[in-house]
Amino acid sequence: QCQLSGLWRNEQDSLMEISAVRDDGDFQGKYLTRVTLAGGCARTSPLKGAQQQPSEGGWPTFAFTVRWDKFSNATTAFAGQCFVDAAGKETLTTMWLLREAVGSLEEDWKATR
């Protein structure tokens, strides 16, 4: 079974630490990103999420949000699934949407990546 709690590293060398997943699937943690909209050094931001409890032998799906409020007026929502290969290596696969604040409804078209 795949365990979301722990320390994870992605391809851009960003780190995510997830605390223990509660019985109801809720979790929280922190995300240390190496990629920022404004550039500059790595920053830590809070994350909150939920894991769908997997059926017997299944791989859990999950979703979480990260608030980049310390250095950007943006939020990212991630959704994904956890897998374990034959060697026991755990891998998270995710898709994400980043929403950046814009100044007007006319600029809404450029706010989501």
Residue in 27, 85, 75 with CA at minimum distance from that of residue 51: 27
What is the pTM assigned to this prediction? 0.84
Contact assessment for residue 25 and residue 42, using Cβ atoms and an 8 Å cutoff = no
**Position of tokens 């722990």?**
6
Annotate 3-34 with three-state secondary structure: CCCEEEECCCCCEEEECCCCCCCEEEEEEEEC
Adjacency order of strands within the sheet including 61-67: 6-9, 15-18, 26-33, 43-51, 61-67, 74-84, 90-100
Q: Tens-digit pLDDT profile for the chain (113 aa)?
A: 788 899 999 888 888 999 989 989 999 999 988 765 556 666 789 999 999 876 666 788 999 999 987 677 889 999 999 998 999 899 999 999 999 999 999 999 999 98
